[in-house]
Amino acid sequence: MTRPLAVALAGLGTVGGGVLRLLRENADIIAGRAGRPIAVTAVSARDRGRDRGFPLAGLRWYEDAEALADDAEADVVVEVIGGAEGKARALVERALSLGKPVVSANKALIAVHGAALAARAEAAGVPLAFEAAVAGGIPVIKVLREGLAANRLSRITGILNGTSNFILTVMRERGREFAEVLAEAQKLGYAEADPSFDIDGIDAAHKLAILAALAFGRPVDFAAVHVEGIRAVSALDIALAGELGYRIKLLGIARRLEGGIEARVHPAMVPAEAPIARVDGVFNAVVAEGDFVGRVMLEGRGAGAGPTASAIVADLIDIARGRATPVWGAANGALDASLPSLGIAAHHGAYYLRLMVVDRPGVIADVTAILRDLGVSLESMLQRGRAPGEAVPVVLVTHETSETAMREAVARIAALDIAVERPALIRIERG
- Reduced 3-state DSSP string for 404-426: HHHHHHHHHHHCCCCECCCCEEE
Question: Exposure of 416 by Cβ count < 10 A (0-12 exposed, 13-18 middle, 19+ buried)?
Answer: middle
Residue 284's nearest CA partner among 119, 185, 139, 111 is: 139
From-to residues of CATH 3.30.70.260 in the chain: 347-428
Q: What is the mean pLDDT of residues 245-267?
A: 96
Give 263-322 pLDDT, tens digit per residue. 999 999 999 999 999 999 999 999 999 999 999 999 998 888 899 999 999 999 999 999
Fold of 143-301: Dihydrodipicolinate Reductase; domain 2 (3.30.360)
In the set 87, 100, 107, 207, the catalytic residue is: 207
Specify the CATH number for 347-428; select among 3.30.70.260, 3.40.50.200, 3.40.50.11820, 1.10.3300.10: 3.30.70.260
Residue 190's nearest CA partner among 73, 327, 282 is: 282
| Predicted local confidence at residue 50, as pLDDT | 74
Statement: residue 332 has pLDDT above 90 = no
Q: How far apart are CA 7 and CA 78, in angstroms?
A: 7
| Predicted local confidence at residue 352, as pLDDT | 97
From-to residues of CATH 3.30.360.10 in the chain: 143-301
Give 28-70 pLDDT, tens digit per residue. 999 999 999 999 999 998 777 676 677 778 889 898 888 999 9
pTM of the model: 0.93
Pairing state between β 401-402 and 348-358: antiparallel
User: Is 87 an active-site residue?
Assistant: no
Q: How far apart are CA 102 and CA 80, in angstroms?
A: 11
Give 199-221 pLDDT, tens digit per residue. 999 999 999 999 999 999 999 99
Minimum mean pLDDT range among 89-93, 144-148, 379-383, 426-430? 379-383
Quick check: 126 and 99 in contact, CB under 8 A? yes
| Predicted local confidence at residue 190, as pLDDT | 85
Residue 146's nearest CA partner among 292, 322, 333, 328 is: 328
